Chain A
């Protein structure tokens, strides 16, 4: 059987940056998995909404996200519709906290269907959302994904020490 699940690219931030980009993504896999351990510049108990994960430089309102979260007290569910990027909900109660996230991007080379992604986030010492599972839809004219931008929005930056690794999985 052919081995797969291969690292494509890793970025470890040596300084604060507004956008992390994976470009020229090879079209030789079936699915992509993006694993991040990240922190943005907000510190506090509020839940921050970042519409920051974008495909192919598309900043139009083609993204929607539905999530469920548990904060240690209660579970809730909400969604964002017609946003300029997939919505990531987070809060950083501690200056040294980092969120761990795994994004599954299915059939990314398919030029026929809209793209559905699944992702999970965790932040153990968070005063806001602790555990989150989300699904997202990108409704741009179906096209293969060749670029991923992780945008911290104009308000924040991704902090030094954040890591982002993109993997490829190829089906037989």
Chain B
């Protein structure tokens, strides 16, 4: 038996469901649909980069089951190499993006080939009696700037999650961004 980082699972019960790798044209939305309800938990592992050129951090958003109504909230704790911060967002229309975090650096000069990375855990995603809570470890280091963060997010719906859409607050995901969805059995 192996111990999974973040979520305990025996070896063999961690399974790849689907993966999207962004091509040269970029991609506005990364979608995982028809997610089977046969696992206990989901995990998304990603690297991502935004197409903007303004030398800024761009929020990454995700929504469940195409629901973009104001039923999301989040809390976050971050460090940017100089200071720490914490905050929260309520009644947001997506998880992550309306807060500070889940962000990716854009394509400004000097950051070529640098990608943010994250591990998103979505626990008990198929339960129809609970609001859904997820957690994210996210970071991007740029050799002199960047940030690392822990974030929680809540979707105030009891519906089983069968679809996840990732997008950027502005711009697209750039080539080589990759999102991989895994299922973890109970």
Could you tell me which A residues sit within 8 Å of B by CB distance?
1-7, 30-31, 33, 35, 64-69, 75-79, 81-82, 102, 104, 106-107, 110, 112-114, 116-118, 120, 133-137, 139, 142, 167, 169-172
Instruction: Please encode chain B, from 109 to 140, with 1 for each CB lying within 8 Å of some chain A CB and 0 for all others.
Output: 00001111111000000000000000001111
Take A5-B4, A106-B47 as given contacts and tell me if A171 and B141 are in contact as well, using a CB distance cutoff of 8 Å. no
CB A144 to nearest CB in B, in angstroms, measures 14
Return chain B residues, CB-CB under 8 Å to A116.
47, 114-117, 139-141
Could you tell me which B residues sit within 8 Å of A by CB distance?
2-6, 9, 11-19, 36, 45-47, 77-84, 113-119, 137-144, 146-150, 176, 178, 180, 182-183
Q: Are A79 and B176 in contact (CB under 8 A)?
A: no
Q: Are B117 and A170 in contact (CB under 8 A)?
A: no
Q: How far is the CA of A1 from the CA of B184 in the complex (A)?
A: 11
Question: Mind listing 8 A-B residue pairs with CB under 8 Å?
Answer: A4-B14, A64-B141, A77-B78, A79-B146, A110-B176, A116-B114, A118-B119, A133-B150
Chain B residues touching A, majority SS: strand
Chain A residues touching B, majority SS: strand
Return chain A residues, CB-CB under 8 Å to B17.
1, 172
Q: Are A139 and B143 in contact (CB under 8 A)?
A: yes
Take A4-B15, A4-B16, A169-B45 as given contacts and tell me if A118 and B183 are in contact as well, using a CB distance cutoff of 8 Å. no
Instruction: For A104, give its contact among B11, B45, B114, B182 (CB under 8 Å).
Output: B45
Q: Are A3 and B148 in contact (CB under 8 A)?
A: no
CB A172 to nearest CB in B, in angstroms, measures 4
Q: Are A135 and B117 in contact (CB under 8 A)?
A: yes
